[in-house]
Every structure is written in C-alpha cells, then in structure tokens.
C-alpha cells in the first residue's frame, strides 16, 4: 500500500507544482542557427561557449553533422543577438526558422525502419547459425529441436519486422492492385506456414532462415531509400528555413519586427532598400525602384511612387518605402500563383518509375508460376505437402530481394556523389527522368545570369566624366550605382571632389562640381532622349548632354561551360526569357545558343515546353523565378538554383546548392550511368532467377540453395551499385 | 550434445543483450550527430570533470 507524502507546510507542497505550472505556461523558445563554417572540435566548443554566455540561453548544442546549433532559451529571446555573438566568435551564422526545422528534428519513420532492420539482422543471424548445423548434418531429435527454436525466433521477429510489407500489400490489395509487396508478403507467409507444418511432421526442409534473410535484405533496401530521401528533404527544408519571414510594422509611430504570418490587411509596413516585399500592398510614402525579375524575368528596374500597387516577392532597390498591406499570407498574388502551379499537372506525375514497370511485369508472373508449380505437383503426385513445399520454394527463390535493392542502392550511391558536387536530388524518380533528357531549356535572369550587372563600354570615355560618375555612384546603394562604382574603381579611376552629394530616392544622385550640377540617374530625370532597350544609367554634367552607361548581366559562374558541355553531349539547348529582345539576343550570342525566345510570359514558357514534349522531346527546364514555376513543373525534369524563389525550388526536382552551373551536365551524365546501372541490376537479378527457378519447380531446390541464391544476388546487386562513378 | 541445452540459450541471451543495447542507443538519439561525436571527444573542455 502506498501513501501520498503529507507535508506539514502547504506552501512547500504547492511551490513545486506552481513552478511546474508556470514553466508550462511559458514554454521555452527553441531557436536554430545554421553554421556553415564549423568543422572541428574547437569550433564546437567556441560556438557553444559563446552561445551559452548569452543572457537568456538555457542550453545550446551544436550538431556538426547538420552544421546547425539548437538553442533552448527563455521565451521571447530574439535570434539576432545570438547570431551577432557567434559572428563575434569568428563564425558565419544565419538564423533558421525553427518551425520549419522542428518538423525534421525527429525522423520517426527512419528510426522505426532502423529498429526493424536491427531485429531482422539479429534474428536472421541466429536462425542462420541453427540452419547451418541442420545443413551440415544434424538429424532426428536435434534437427527438430533446431527447427522449433528457429520457429520460436522467427515468428515474433517476422511479426515485428515485416509489418511495413504486410501493410503496403494489404493497402494495394484492398484497392484491387498488385505491387512489389504482395509477392513479398505472400512468400514470407507461405514460407512460414509450410516450414511450421514441416517442423510439426519432423520434416527435413524448413525455410525459416530464408524468410528472415529476405526480410533483412528488403528492409536494408527500404532503409537506404528512406535515408536518401530524408537527407534531401532536410537540406531542402534548411534552404526554406533560411528565409525567416519577418516584416517591420509601423504601429503608433514605432517600428516593430513581427512575423509575416502576424500581419493583417491595413497594416503599415516599412520596407528597407534591398528587402523583399512581404505582402501585396499600396505604397503610401517614399520613392524607389523595384526589381521584379523573380516574378517577370525582366531585369530593368521599375519606378515606384506613392499610390502604386506592389506585390509580394518584388525587391525594393533604392529608397525606403512605406506600404499599406492589401493582401497577406495565402491571399498574396505570389502565394496564389504558387498554388496554381502546384495544381497544374506536373511532369513527374506522368512518369512511371523503372521499379514500378518491373513490378508490373514481375508480380503477376511470380504468382502464376508458383500457382502452376503447385497445381502441377498436386495433380502429379496427389501430395498436398510436397506441392505446398514446392510452391513456397518457387516464391522464395523469385522473391524480389535483389529487385528491392536494385534501385535504392544505385540512387543512394548516385545522390551521394551528386550531393558532394552541390546537387540536391529532391524527387525519387528524378535521376531516371534526368537520364532521358535530350533538350535543355534555360531561363535567363537569375539562372544563366547571376543578377549582378556589369557596365559596358567604359573605354574611350572622357576621364573627367568617369571620375564624376564614380563620385556620384559611390553616393548611392542602388545596384546599378554599386556595379558602376566597383567597375570604375577596378579601372583605377579616382572620384572627383563633389560637394553637396545627395541621393534622390527613385531618381538618382546629384552633387556640385565647380558650380556645375552633376546628376547620375534615370533617363527621364535627366531629360535624356528615351529609355534604351538595355538597362542603363545616365550621367549629365552641368548643361551638357546626358550620356548613357549601359549594363549587361554578368554570367553566372560555369554558365558557359555548362552550355558548351551540354551541346557537346548532343543536347538541344534553348533559351527562353521574359526579358527584352536585345538582352536575350546578346546573351544567346555570347553563349552560342542558336534557339532563343524573348519576352515570354510565364504561360508562354510552359506552353513552349508542352509543345516540345508533344513533339517527342524530353525537356529539362532550368529556372529560378516565379515566372518559371509553371514551366518547371510541366517539364520532364527540372533544376533550380538555391537562390531561386521558394515556389520554384518546390516545383523542381533538383536544387543546385552552389552558385555554379557546371554540375548540370555532370548530373545528366551521372543520371544516365545510374539508370544504366539500375537496368543492369534488374538483369543480374533476372539471371539468378532464371537459373534457380527451374530447380525450384523441379523440386530439387533445398533451403541451402535458396539461401545461397538470395544472398549472392543481393550482394552482387549492391556491389554493382557501388561501382558507380 | 547435452551441452546445447546450455549453449543455445546463452548465445541467444548474449545476442539479445546486444540488440537491446542497440535499440537503447537508437532511442536515446545517439546517431543524431556522428561527426560531432567523433570531434567532441577531442575537446579538452570536459576532461577533468564530466559535463553536468
């Protein structure tokens, strides 16, 4: 009998309970930081000490494998001071959205599979030891005892380990379909039933070891498959979590930083230069320029002034803007367009994987073969026991152990190789689809070009004008000014001594030189003739005529190599962009792309790809913007750089982690080799079956032969997968 | 062959211990950070007294 502890002082009893309640009410905040630069024990110590020294931090732990720090802190602690603390300690740190990360923290499914794999491994080793003594001549009572012990180990082990197969098979059968798991489950159950029956009659042949080894190999395949996908998913989620959705709200004259999900229609928001619009809205204050390239593909900045509507995803370039929100969250045009893309039929949905195609041929074949063997022997000998034994042997021999490993072993090896080269394979059939690609369609802005602008035609200009331009350009944070200043500094130009230098947001910069007004900015502000087709900034000194400084987009690293390598591999390369004709033509000429299309709307891109695919081409789309998402999902396979908009990354099968494009041709070659390897594996597995099945049907297949054939084919297939370079 | 009566249960028991140890290590998140664990052992921070 137990009695509750009774304290004389009620407060003593109440205090811990109250504390516990208070603790529950104010739950600890969990913060996550991404630490791309850490690599050793000293890094771990330094970062953990720096974080633990911060006020409000309860516990900080660095995970070196994920290059991440998880921090348990008092509620309400902001991540910014922690990021600063880590930077002060000498390491790069970025805040991660803990809500997005938390979903992956515990990989339950993976752990579950690992447990089953461990139990299957343990049980199959023990049963195999007992079987070896039976095969090497244990007789009579000893053999029976070994069989009974094997049965005692096998039944609970199978009941636990083979659950995923049973569940999948049941799900397929209940909707009237056949999949790989149906013959697997049938083979395991039939083997167990006949073996138990044989054991009861003190027979010679029992397949307990075969049933367990089968389960073990198949679980190994499933686990590999799961791990590959889990790694890709966690990396993709980390990319998403790096963009912490925050906005600066103006409330009662005060600025406060809030989560984008807390914004409401009618809120006043401040958007600083360089920041992305968090919501759809109308500008109430400020003048600036907007970069809409992620939405339209056009590089030329658009002027912004009070009264103008802006949509989420556009980038504010020059001056601070105040917005009044008109649509938030799921109602913004960005979110609505992203959803439309998700609804559209995607290329991957139409694709049947190699494994599924193999299963479609294989599953009915195996059942018919085993049923025929059973019928033949039953009518031939009239002995139900022999007939059942033969049927079980046929099912076990043909069981797709090697088939179950054939695909995951290759995809794991290939994805690992590609991941090290900076490619993240997100979709399970992406490799197979990449291998079939014969046409590659590139987007221009943000994909082939990096979005960094470079001034052209700086040679042969008046040095005086250049030095004035440099002085004016350095007075502004506008991307064009920064690019111009960088290029001029690189050429050794010294800035002229201007006085009263000031920036006019939305227009340009101006200053005085020897009593002359010098201005650098938009064509319309300077009264220049007209806007050119190309992106340009204009310079006017005093009353002199305005002169243009045209810009081109700089190429992304590896773009030239990628295009050349793809063309050398015999792929058709097409450039489709939403940008102006002149810009697209110039780039196509530079890269040697003969087929190009300018001024394409998002719908045009998708339509062109559908048209190409209808003509029999297998299209790989490479793009980054919202205007590409429809094209990305309608193409046979798709790649987007990690700088792409979240919606584009979600729509594509492969994400390029670095800024370099040169891994694209490599990925196509690796995919082709991987697919060839998968087919080879199927052939190896078939050869084993062709050799062993006649033995099983003829009734001379012993459990020893079954075990040998099964293990040998699985090991060969795994080794063949590892040959992939 | 009488020795089998002892040997088989003993071998199963020992194997089972290994299995239980493995299950315990998975359940207590010991495979979350394999790279970090291999580095942490080199850190001198907790050499003199264990981490509280």
CATH number of the domain enclosing A532: 3.40.1110.10
Say whether A40 and B18 touch across the interface (CB within 8 A).
Answer: no
Tell which residue, A498, A548, A483, has the closest CA to residue A521.
Answer: A548
Residue A91 lies in a domain: yes
The band of A344, judged by pLDDT with boundaries at 50, 70 and 90, is low
Q: Out of A101-110, A214-223, A555-564, A701-710, pick the least confident.
A: A101-110
pLDDT tens column, A264-285: 888 888 887 777 788 888 888 8
SS (H, E, C) A576-599: ECCCCHHHHHHHHHHHCCCEEECC
CB contact under 8 A, A114 and B11: no
Q: How far is CA A168 from CA A175, A212, A219, A598, in A?
A: 11, 18, 13, 49
Last residue of a domain, one of A489, A521, A554: A554
- A348-358 pLDDT, tens digit per residue, is 666 777 877 88
Counted domains in chain A: 3
Residues of chain A found within 8 Å of residue B42, distances taken between Cβ atoms = 40-41
Q: What is the CATH number of the domain that holds A295?
A: 2.70.150.10
Statement: residue A674 has pLDDT above 60: yes
Q: CB contact, 8 Å: A122 with chain B?
A: yes
- A202 CB within 8 Å of a chain B CB: no
Contact A458, A472 (CB under 8 A): no
- B19/A65 CB distance under 8 A: no
User: How would residue A178 be classed by pLDDT, with cut points 50, 70 and 90?
Assistant: confident
ipTM for this prediction: 0.84
Look up tokens 């081109």; give the residue: A552
State how far the Cα of A159 lies from the Cα of A154, in Å rounded to an integer.
Answer: 8
Using CA coordinates, name the residue in chain B closest to A42: B43
Q: Does B9 touch chain A (CB under 8 A)?
A: no
Question: For residue A26, what pLDDT is reported?
Answer: 55
Run of H or E including A248: strand A246-251
* Residue A65 to chain B, least CA–CA distance (Å): 5
Within an 8 Å CB–CB cutoff, is residue A136 touching chain B? no
User: What is the per-residue pLDDT across A489-514, written as a single tens digit (0 to 9) for each?
Assistant: 888 888 887 778 887 777 788 888 88
Out of A44, A111, A115, the one facing B40 most closely (by C-beta) is A44
**Is residue A241 assigned to a domain?**
no
In A312-370, the DSSP E strands lie at 315-316, 321-327
| Inter-chain touch A63–B8, beta carbons under 8 Å | no
How close B28 gets to chain A, by Cα (Å)? 11
CB contacts of A149 in chain B (<8 Å) are: 8
A92 touches chain B (CB under 8 A): no
Across the interface, which of A63, A115, A129 has its CB nearest the CB of B36? A63
User: Which segment of A64-78, A84-98, A246-260 scores lowest on mean pLDDT?
Assistant: A246-260
Question: Rounded distance, CA A553 to CA A26, Å?
Answer: 51
Do the chains contact at B40 and A119, CB–CB below 8 Å? no
**A105: nearest CA in chain B?**
B32
Backbone phi, psi, residue A50, to 5°: -60, -40
DSSP string, A546-563: PEEEEEEEEEPTTHHHHH
Q: Which residues of chain B lie closer than 8 angstroms to A66, CB-CB?
A: 33
- Chain A residues with beta carbon closer than 8 angstroms to that of B34: 65
Residue of A nearest to B16 (CA): A122
Using a CB-CB cut-off of 8 Å, the residues of chain B touching A133 are none
A3 vs A564, residue with greater confidence:
A564
Residue of B nearest to A139 (CA): B1
- Domain presence at residue A476: yes
Nearest-CA distance from B52 to chain A in Å? 12
Instruction: Report the C-alpha gap between A535 and A480 in whole angstroms.
Output: 9
* B chain contacts of residue A111, beta-carbon cutoff 8 Å: 26-27
pLDDT, mean of residues A277-304: 78
Residue of chain A with shortest Cα separation from B33: A65
Q: What is the DSSP string of A377-401?
A: HHHHH--HHHHHHHHHHHHHHH--H
Question: Most A CBs within 10 Å: which of B2, B41, B45, as the mutation test of the A interface?
Answer: B45
Asked whether the beta carbons of A696 and A386 are under 8 A apart, the reply is no
Nearest-angstrom CA–CA distance, A642 and A663: 13
**More confident: A337 or B37:** B37
A41 close contact with B: CB closer than 8 A: yes
pLDDT at A91: 86
Mean pLDDT (whole number) for A239-254? 74
What pLDDT, on the 0 to 100 scale, is given for residue A234? Answer: 74
Q: Do B33 and A66 touch (CB under 8 A)?
A: yes
The average confidence (pLDDT) of chain A is 81
Distance CA A503, CA A681 (A): 66
What pLDDT, on a 0 to 100 scale, did the predictor assign at position A117? 93
Whether A445 contacts A472, CB under 8 Å: no
Residue A717 near residue A402, CB atoms below 8 Å: yes
Q: Give B22's contacts in chain A (Cβ within 8 Å).
A: 118
Is A111 in contact with B43 (Cβ distance < 8 A)?
Answer: no
Lowest mean pLDDT among A343-347, A534-538, B20-24: A343-347
A291: Cα separation from own chain's centroid = 26
Does a structural domain hold residue A564?
Answer: no
User: What average pLDDT does the segment A248-277 reach?
Assistant: 79
In a domain, A67, yes or no: yes
**pLDDT for res A343:** 55
CB-CB neighbors (< 8 A) of B23 in chain A: 115, 118
Question: d(Cα B10, Cα A721) in Å, to the nearest integer?
Answer: 39
Share of chain A above pLDDT 90, in %: 9
For A569-597, write each residue's pLDDT tens digit: 899 999 988 777 877 888 888 888 888 88
Inter-residue contact A568 to A537 (CB < 8 Å): no
B48 CA: distance to closest CA in chain A (Å): 15
Query: Which of residues A554, A578, A594 is at a domain's end?
Result: A554
Q: Is some CB atom of chain A closer than 8 A to the CB atom of B11?
A: yes
Q: In which region does residue A151 sit, left (phi positive, over 0), alpha (psi from -120 to 50) or beta (all else)?
A: alpha
- Is residue A470 a part of any domain in this protein? yes
Query: Is A308 contained in some domain?
Result: yes
Question: pTM of this prediction?
Answer: 0.74
pLDDT in tens, A197-226: 989 988 888 889 888 988 998 898 888 888
Q: Is A508 left (phi over 0), alpha (psi -120 to 50) or beta?
A: left
∠ Cα A388 A392 A397 (to 5°)? 150
Among A329, A353, A382, the domain-final residue is A329
Active-site residue numbers of A?
Answer: 443
User: Residue A52: which domain range?
Assistant: 28-96
For residue B52, what pLDDT band results from cuts at 50, 70 and 90?
Answer: low
The average pLDDT across A428-437 equals 87
Q: What is the pLDDT of residue A121?
A: 92
A124 domain-assigned: no
Nearest to B22 among A66, A118, A142 (CB): A118
């Amino acid at each position: 009998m137990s009695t509750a502890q009774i304290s004389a002082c009620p407060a003593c009893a109440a205090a811990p309970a109250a504390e516990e309640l208070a603790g529950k009410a104010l739950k600890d905040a969990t913060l996550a930081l991404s630490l791309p630069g850490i690599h050793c024990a000293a890094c771990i110590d330094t970062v953990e000490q720096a974080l633990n020294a911060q006020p409000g931090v309860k516990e900080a732990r660095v995970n070196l494998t994920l290059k991440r720090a998880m921090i348990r802190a008092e509620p309400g602690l902001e991540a910014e001071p922690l990021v600063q603390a880590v930077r002060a300690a000498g390491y790069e740190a970025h805040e991660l959205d803990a809500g997005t990360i938390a979903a992956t923290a515990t990989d339950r499914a993976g752990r579950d599979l690992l447990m089953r794999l461990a139990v299957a491994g343990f049980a199959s080793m023990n049963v195999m030891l007992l079987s070896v003594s039976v095969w090497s001549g244990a007789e009579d009572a000893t053999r029976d005892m070994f069989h009974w012990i094997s049965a005692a180990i096998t039944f609970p082990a199978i009941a636990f380990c083979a659950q995923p197969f049973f569940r999948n098979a049941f799900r397929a059968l209940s909707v009237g379909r056949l999949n790989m798991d149906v013959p697997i489950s049938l083979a395991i159950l039939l083997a167990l039933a006949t073996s138990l029956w044989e054991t009861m009659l003190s027979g010679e042949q029992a397949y307990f070891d075969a049933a367990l080894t089968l389960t073990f190999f198949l679980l190994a395949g499933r686990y590999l498959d799961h791990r590959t996908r889990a790694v890709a998913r966690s990396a993709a989620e980390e990319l998403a979590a790096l963009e912490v959705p925050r906005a600066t709200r103006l409330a009662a004259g005060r600025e406060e930083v809030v989560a984008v999900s807390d914004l409401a229609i009618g809120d006043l928001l401040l958007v600083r230069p360089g920041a992305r619009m968090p919501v759809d809205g109308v500008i109430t204050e400020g003048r600036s320029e907007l970069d809409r390239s992620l939405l339209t593909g056009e590089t030329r900045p658009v002027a912004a002034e009070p009264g103008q509507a802006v949509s989420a995803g556009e980038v504010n370039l020059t001056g601070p803007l105040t917005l009044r929100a008109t649509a938030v969250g799921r109602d913004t045009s960005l979110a609505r367009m992203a959803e439309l893309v998700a609804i559209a039929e995607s290329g991957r949905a139409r694709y049947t994987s190699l494994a599924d195609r193999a299963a479609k041929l294989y599953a009915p074949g195996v059942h018919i073969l085993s049923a025929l063997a059973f019928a033949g022997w039953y009518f031939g000998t009239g002995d139900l026991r022999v007939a059942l034994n033969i049927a079980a042997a046929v099912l076990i021999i043909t069981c797709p152990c090697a088939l179950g490993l054939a695909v995951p072993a290759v995809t794991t090896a290939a994805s690992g190789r590609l991941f090290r080269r900076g490619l993240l394979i997100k979709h399970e059939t992406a490799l197979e689809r990449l291998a079939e690609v014969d046409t590659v369609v590139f987007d221009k802005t943000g994909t082939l070009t990096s979005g960094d602008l470079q001034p052209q035609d700086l040679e042969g200009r008046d040095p005086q004008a250049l030095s004035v331009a440099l002085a004016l350009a350095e007075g502004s944070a506008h991307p064009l000014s920064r690019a111009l200043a960088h290029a001029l500094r690189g050429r050794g130009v010294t800035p002229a001594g201007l006085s009263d230098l000031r920036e006019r947001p939305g227009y340009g910069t101006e200053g005085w030189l020897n009593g002359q007004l010098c201005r650098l900015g938009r064509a319309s502000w300077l009264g220049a003739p007209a806007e050119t087709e190309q992106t340009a900034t204009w310079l006017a000194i005093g009353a002199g005529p305005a002169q243009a400084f045209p810009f081109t987009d700089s190429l992304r690293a590896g773009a030239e190599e990628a295009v050349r390598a793809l063309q050398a591999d015999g792929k058709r390369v097409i450039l489709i962009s939403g940008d102006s004709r002149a810009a697209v033509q110039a780039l196509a000429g530079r890269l040697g792309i003969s087929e190009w299309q300018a001024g394409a709307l998002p719908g045009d891109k998708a339509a062109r790809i559908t048209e190409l695919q209808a003509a029999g081409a297998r299209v790989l789309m490479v793009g980054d913007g919202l205007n590409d998402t429809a094209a990305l999902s309608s193409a046979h396979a798709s790649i987007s750089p990690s700088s792409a908009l979240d919606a584009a990354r979600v729509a594509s099968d492969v994400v390029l982690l670095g800024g370099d494009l040169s891994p694209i041709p490599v990925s196509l070659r690796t995919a082709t080799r991987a697919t060839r390897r998968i087919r080879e594996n199927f052939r190896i597995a078939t050869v084993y079956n062709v050799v062993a099945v006649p033995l099983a049907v003829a009734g001379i297949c012993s459990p020893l032969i079954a075990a040998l054939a099964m293990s040998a084919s699985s090991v060969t297939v795994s080794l063949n997968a590892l040959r992939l370079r | 062959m009488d020795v089998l009566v002892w040997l088989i249960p003993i071998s199963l028991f020992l194997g089972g211990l290994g299995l239980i140890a493995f299950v315990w290590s998975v359940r207590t998140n010991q495979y979350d950070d394999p790279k970090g664990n291999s580095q942490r052992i080199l850190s001198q921070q907790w050499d003199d007294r264990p981490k509280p």
